[in-house]
Amino acid sequence: MIDLDLVRKEPAKVEENLARRKNPVYVRLLAEVREKDAEWRTCLQQADEVRRRRNDLSRRIAEARTKATPSEELESEAKKLPDTLRAIESQESELLHARDALLRRLPNLMDDSVPFGTDDSQNVVVSTWGEPLHGGAALKSHGEVLEGLGMAEFDRARRVSGAGFYYLRGAVVLLDLALQRFALDLLAGRGFTPVAPPYVLRRAPYEGVTDLADFENVMYKLEAEDLYLIATSEHPLAALYLGEILDEDALPIRLAGVSPCFRKEIGGHGVDQKGIFRVHQFQKVEQFVFCRPEDSATILEELRANAEEVFRQLGVPYRVVNVCTGDLGSVAAKKYDVEAWFPRQQAFREVVSCSNCTDYQARRLGIRLGKAGRPGKLVPHTLNSTAVATSRGLAVILEQYQQPDGSVTIPEVLRPYLGGLRALVRSGASL
RNA sequence: GCUGAGGUAGCCUAGUCCGGUAAGGCGCCAGCCUUGAAAGCUGGUGGCGAUUCCGCCACGGGAGUUCAAAUCUCCCCCUCAGCGCCA
Reported ipTM? 0.83
Question: Which nucleotide has the least CA–C1' distance to A41?
Answer: B49
For residue A270, pLDDT over 60 is answered with no
Protein-to-nucleotide distance from the CA of A387 to the C1' of B11, whole angstroms: 36
Q: Is A76 within 7 A of strand B by CB distance?
A: no
Q: Is A194 within 7 A of strand B by CB distance?
A: no
Question: Which nucleotide has the least CA–C1' distance to A377?
Answer: B47
Protein-to-nucleotide distance from the CA of A313 to the C1' of B47, whole angstroms: 51
Active site residue A76: no
Q: Is A9 within 7 A of strand B by CB distance?
A: no
A198 Cα distance to chain centroid: 15
C-alpha distance from residue A276 to each of A118, A128, A185, A283, A374 (Å): 28, 25, 24, 11, 48
Question: Which nucleotide has the least CA–C1' distance to A76?
Answer: B67
pLDDT band at A269 (very low <50, low <70, confident <90, very high): low
* Mean pLDDT over each residue of chain A, to the nearest integer: 89
For residue A181, pLDDT over 70 is answered with yes
Instruction: Please name the residues in contact with A218: beta carbons below 8 A apart, sequence gap of 6 or more.
Output: A210, A231, A263, A264, A265
Active site residue A294: no
Protein-to-nucleotide distance from the CA of A227 to the C1' of B79, whole angstroms: 17
* CATH architecture label of A120-424: 2-Layer Sandwich (3.30)
A422 Cα distance to chain centroid: 36
Q: Is A80 within 7 A of strand B by CB distance?
A: no
Active site residue A278: yes
CA dist A8 and A35 (Å) reads: 11
Active site residue A350: yes
Question: Which nucleotide has the least CA–C1' distance to A44?
Answer: B49
Q: What is the pLDDT of residue A200?
A: 92
CA dist A399 and A37 (Å) reads: 55
For residue A21, pLDDT over 60 is answered with yes
Catalytic residue, candidates A278, A344, A364, A368: A278
- Which window residues (378-407, chain A) lie with Cβ within 7 Å of strand B? none
A339, β-bridge pairs: A319, A350
Active site residue A105: no
Tell me the per-residue pLDDT of A73-105, one tens digit each, with 9 for 90 and over. 777 777 777 777 888 888 888 888 888 888 988
Q: What is the pLDDT of residue A386?
A: 96
Question: Which nucleotide has the least CA–C1' distance to A81?
Answer: B67
Catalytic residue, candidates A233, A296, A353, A391: A353
Q: Are A284 and A233 in contact (CB under 8 A)?
A: yes
Q: Domain residue spans in chain A?
A: 4-105, 120-424
Q: What is the pLDDT of residue A283?
A: 95
User: Read out DSSP for A120-166?
Assistant: GGG-EEEEEES-----GGGSPPHHHHHHHHT-EESHHHHHHH-TT--
Q: What is the pLDDT of residue A168?
A: 94
Q: What is the pLDDT of residue A51?
A: 85
Q: Are A126 and A322 in contact (CB under 8 A)?
A: yes
A389, β-bridge pairs: A284
A295, β-bridge pairs: none
CA dist A355 and A211 (Å) reads: 14
Q: Is A370 within 7 A of strand B by CB distance?
A: yes
DSSP letter for A104, please.
Answer: H
Q: Is A377 within 7 A of strand B by CB distance?
A: yes
For residue A64, pLDDT over 70 is answered with yes
Return the CATH superfamily for domain A4-105.
Serine-tRNA synthetase, tRNA binding domain (1.10.287.40)
Which chain B positions come under 7 Å from a protein C-beta?
Answer: 10-11, 20-21, 27-29, 45-50, 55-57, 64, 66-68, 77-78
For residue A54, pLDDT over 90 is answered with no
